[in-house]
Structures are given as C-alpha cells and as structure tokens.
Amino acid sequence: MDLISVIIPVYNVADYISDCLDSVVDQTYAPLDVIVIDDGSTDGSGEICDRYAAAHEEIRVVHQDNRGISGARNAGVEIASGSYIVFIDGDDYIHPDMIRIMHEAAVLSGLPYLRCGYITTSETRNSFVWPSIPKCSAPPVRSVTSEKEMEDVLTGTEQSYVWAAIYETSLIRDLRFPEGYKYEDVLYITQVLGMIPILGRVDLKLCAYVKRKGSITHSAVSTSALDFCHMMFLRSQAISRSFPALSALSAERFIARTMNSYNALLKEGASEAASVLKEKTTKDYLPHTSLSMILRDSSIPLYRKMIAAICRVSFTAACRFKGMAVRLRKALKGKHSGNSGIR
C-alpha cells in the first residue's frame, strides 16, 4: 500500500486538535505518515500533539517558531515521505474513510490531483453525524479539465480548498505556499491547476470544515481584506499565464472582489484600511489589469463591464455604483419574493 503523508498545521487550536487527530488515527487506511507542524502555539496545542505522537507511531510533531499556516504547510511538504499528500487544518476533521476513498480514486483514475466535497459545521466530532456514503465498487470520480475547474471557481459554481483533496507528492514537491499572507489557497490551487490538464472530482463530502471564532478566514475583514485582494491579484496574473481564455473573466472578478472588500471595510468603519486598499488597487493592481480585454469578452454581463470601466476612471465612484447596484438587486429580489407570496 502507498504511504500517504498527512500534513496538519497547528496554531493555538487546543480546543479542536484532539478531534482532528482522532479523525486521522481512526482512518480505515494505512500506512500513514502524519506530520503535525506546531507553528509556535502558546495555548498547549503543541503539548497535546506530543501526547498523540507518544501514543501513535505514525505521528511525528515538529515544533517551530510561528511562520503562519503557509510556513507550517511548507515545512510539512519539505519532510513528507509519502507517495501522496493530504492537508488537514488543525481545527477541522475528516470522515473515517476519507483517505481510503481518495487514495482509491487517485489510483483508479491515475490523476495526480483530486478533490472532494466538505461540510461546514460548528459541531464537535463526537456529536457530528456524517451523511451516509453509498456502497459502490469504486469511488464516484468525475474527470474535469483544469480550465473548466478554474472557470467554475471564478463563477462561484465550484469551490476548491487545499484541505479537501489528495495530491501526488511528485506534483507539489517543489511548490510552496506564499508565506506572510492569508487566503493562501487562492493562489496555491490556481498554481496546481496550471500544472495539470485534468483533475478528479470525488462527489462525496468527506471533510468537516469547522467554523470558529478567531480562525484565519473568519477574522475581522479589516485585518484580512488586503491579503485577500493581493492573493486575488496574484491569482488573476497566474490565470492569465496558465489559462489565457479565462484572463478577462479573472480580471473582472478581481476588480469586483476588490470593490466588495473596499465597501465592506467602509461598512465596518475601517476607513484607514479602505484607503490603503484603494491606493494599492489604483497604483499597483489596475495598471496591470486590461480593461479592453474585459470589454471584449462576450461572457461578461454588460453591467459588470460598466463597473469595470468606471473603476478605471474612479475607483471610489465605481465602488459606490456597485454598492447601489447590489442594494437595488436585493430590493428588486425582495419585491419579487413578496409578490409571489414568499417571505
């Protein structure tokens, strides 16, 4: 059987790490190489991990100074010895059959990258009930071109995360997460897709994403908006290189997401952060974003082209216009719902 490395970045998740590690040691697949990277935890998380390592020979713990989740994952990749790699965040947990199913899907399909579904929950592992998995001779895998996957991510019809997937180690051995930023998944997944022609979608929900206060993706918008927009910009640039046909859509989506972040900052009263985002967008991002390409793309709706065009003239005016358009659509939707008897 193939050895599979499971990389778990841990930082101050003492209340959650036992659920995570229990879900890994209870896997129906073996052998595993479980690499826990304690990223400078100060709440006892590292000591909990050490106790698990003492009780389970497949677990090894690396203690390091805080480098952020990207630095922790990078440290894990550097020492991974398995033929495949699975990432799990220290505050999440996985289905007992997750690794077995994903490995079987990878072997049968011959694909180097496959992703599965996930469930968002606030429940602990002991109280959570997984949806039943239908019995079948082989995992339900759909082969999808990387360009189609990227398009679906851009349009919001699909979501891809680092942790709900399995990778051939040889595919990502030399790829690193961008350190010093949040929302690292945004760029990393794009880079992975740019390296392969086809991926596999396993149509089963095998990961539990635990929502908690204080997690990176649920921290205050004022502390993460700049990182998010920077990662979105780098993603747009990477898409232009790997998927030229999606360049216009990617650029337009970047502009729209940046304006959403700006409006959210203003709504929260974070005017200083909003000013920084505005300056960085107008000076560093927009000059490298082709408006003419967006205007020529027939797949982008006219009103979104208008907003992008206004943005090049006045970022602030475009954000106001977009905010008004969003409020108008919500109002019209509410009016339509009221007329139809739906409350």
What are 216-247's pLDDT values in tens digits?
Answer: 554 455 668 999 999 999 999 999 999 999 99
Judgement on whether residues 189 and 312 belong to the same structural domain of the protein: no
**Across the strands, what pairs with 39?**
64
pLDDT of residue 125: 86
Buried-exposed string 199-210: b where 16+ CB fall within 10 A, e elsewhere: bbbbebbbbbbb
Buried-exposed string 220-238: b where 16+ CB fall within 10 A, e elsewhere: eebebbbbbbbbbbbbbbb
What are 130-143's pLDDT values in tens digits?
Answer: 888 877 777 889 99
Q: What is the pTM of this model?
A: 0.90
CB atoms within 10 A of CB 179: 14
Domain boundary among 189, 216, 243: 216
Question: How far lies 196's CA from each of 71, 174, 199, 242, 281, in Å?
Answer: 24, 14, 7, 10, 31
- The size of the chain, in residues, is 343
Q: Please work out, in degrees rounded to the nearest 5, the angle formed at the alpha carbon of residue 282 by the alpha carbons of 278 and 285.
A: 105
What are 255-298's pLDDT values in tens digits?
Answer: 999 999 999 899 888 999 999 999 999 999 999 999 999 999 99
Closest CA to 105 of 115, 96, 95: 115
Q: What is the CATH number of the domain that holds 154?
A: 3.90.550.10
Judgement on whether residues 176 and 229 belong to the same structural domain of the protein: no
pLDDT of residue 213: 67
Helices vs strands, H then E, count in the chain? 13, 9
Judgement on whether residues 272 and 123 belong to the same structural domain of the protein: no
pLDDT of residue 343: 35
Judgement on whether residues 100 and 224 belong to the same structural domain of the protein: no
Domain boundary among 216, 231, 257: 216
Given a cut of 50, is residue 342 above it in pLDDT?
no
- pLDDT bracket for residue 62 (50, 70, 90): very high
The DSSP H or E segment spanning 145 is strand 141-145
Closest CA to 109 of 81, 136, 139, 82: 139
What average pLDDT score do residues 296-319 get?
A: 93
Place of tokens 């930082």: 11
Q: Which domain holds residue 193?
A: 4-216
Domain boundary among 216, 240, 256: 216
Closest CA to 87 of 177, 18, 202, 165: 165
Judgement on whether residues 184 and 306 belong to the same structural domain of the protein: no
pLDDT of residue 217: 53
Judgement on whether residues 288 and 206 belong to the same structural domain of the protein: no
Judgement on whether residues 154 and 238 belong to the same structural domain of the protein: no
pLDDT of residue 160: 82
Cβ neighbors of 223 (< 8 A, separation 6 or more) are none
Judgement on whether residues 207 and 246 belong to the same structural domain of the protein: no
Judgement on whether residues 227 and 116 belong to the same structural domain of the protein: no
Q: Please work out, in degrees rounded to the nearest 5, the angle formed at the alpha carbon of residue 239 by the alpha carbons of 200 and 67.
A: 85
Judgement on whether residues 333 and 208 belong to the same structural domain of the protein: no
The DSSP 8-state label assigned to residue 2 in this structure reads -
Domain count, the chain: 2
Judgement on whether residues 209 and 259 belong to the same structural domain of the protein: no
Judgement on whether residues 241 and 296 belong to the same structural domain of the protein: yes
